[in-house]
Chain A
Amino acid sequence: MTLYFLNFVLLIIGLYALVVKRHIVKKILGVAIMEYAVNLFLILLGFRKSGIAPILTEDMDLATFIHTAVDPLPQALVLTSIVIGLGTLALMVAMAIRLYERYGTFDMDEINRLRG
């Protein structure tokens, strides 16, 4: 239970950076921290005490393997989610670089003022 709570604290730190900070790159870092927290939470949900990785080797028995392996389903979903996180991070960084070239600053309030 405390692991879930610590994980949630990590998510909240990312949310705080996203809401309060004015630097665009700080906001992007906040989104990245939230991504880490969500991925880790899904993996924690599928963990089993003294479990092994869901990979079958030759010296294992299938019947005992089923009762000791951790949950493979969240791992499969998180695996693609991590790669998508890289794609969205690339998109956000590209937008930040363009905004810097256009306005000469990373400050969100300053960009809003210059635009208006």
Chain B
Amino acid sequence: MDVVFLLHLLLVFMIIGAFITVEIKNMLSAVISIGAVGFTLSMAFLFLGAPDIAITQVIVEILSLILLIRATVNVDNVAIEEKGESVFHNRTALIFVGIILVFAWFAFQSLAPFGEPLMRVSDYYLNNGLIMVGATNFVTSVILDFRAYDTFGEAMVLFVSISGAFAILRRWKREQHKDFLRIDREH
């Protein structure tokens, strides 16, 4: 089967999954549906010649599913009833979505056609990567050698976001603070 046709099928499946995610009432079903979208994305990466990213996507998808199920389980997992006024909001949003899609169709005409990448910088990496770095996987040589500073900055962003999540979720500090308040009130 042709790769481009297969990619069309995968993308249509992803759009259907994303639509179900947005519109379904039960939140646990929405989370499972976005898991289907993510694993289909991993398959698309595999067919696009990016096996490293496909593996990473599978692992990250499993972890994010665990996180999202933690957020939805044990609470009332039914979506919130829409109020009457939000029908107007829905219609306005749909009109703007239509306008954006029309403009995007014209904007995509000016891009390079699909299947013929520009590769102005990447030609240098492909030509000299084996001699300068010695790695046979060129993605790794770009991450860890040619663009190591970018990777360093992105690792910093990851560290900051994870430590922010820990700072929000920690319990001991708040309980200590509550104890202090109680002691103040008693005296």
Nearest neighbor of B155 in chain A, beta-carbon distance: A80
Identify which of residues 146-163 in chain B touch chain A, using a CB-to-CB cut-off of 8 Å.
147, 150-151, 154-155, 157-158, 161-162
Binary flags per residue of B126-164, CB closer than 8 Å to A gives 1, else 0: 110010000011110111000100110011011001101
Counting residue pairs across A and B whose Cβ atoms lie within 8 Å, the total is 244
On whether A17 and B21 interact (CB within 8 A), knowing A25-B68, A75-B139, A82-B53, the answer reads yes
Identify which of residues 95-112 in chain A touch chain B, using a CB-to-CB cut-off of 8 Å.
95-98, 100, 106-107, 109
Identify which of residues 1-21 in chain B touch chain A, using a CB-to-CB cut-off of 8 Å.
3-4, 7-8, 11-12, 14-15, 18-19, 21
On whether A73 and B122 interact (CB within 8 A), knowing A87-B162, A91-B161, the answer reads yes
Identify which of residues 43-90 in chain A touch chain B, using a CB-to-CB cut-off of 8 Å.
43-57, 62, 65-66, 69-73, 75-90
B104 touches A5 (CB 8 A): yes
Nearest neighbor of B108 in chain A, beta-carbon distance: A4
Interface residues on B, range: 35 or more
On whether A3 and B70 interact (CB within 8 A), knowing A12-B101, A75-B52, A100-B75, the answer reads no
Interface size on A, residues (CB 8 A): 81
B22 touches A30 (CB 8 A): yes
Is the contact region of chain B dominated by helix, strand, or loop, or is it mixed?
helix
Which of A78, A86, A107 is the most central at the interface, judged by chain B CB atoms within 10 Å of its CB?
A86
16 contacts between A and B (CB under 8 A): A1-B109, A2-B8, A6-B8, A16-B22, A20-B86, A29-B22, A33-B34, A40-B44, A46-B119, A47-B48, A50-B3, A73-B122, A75-B50, A83-B154, A91-B165, A94-B169
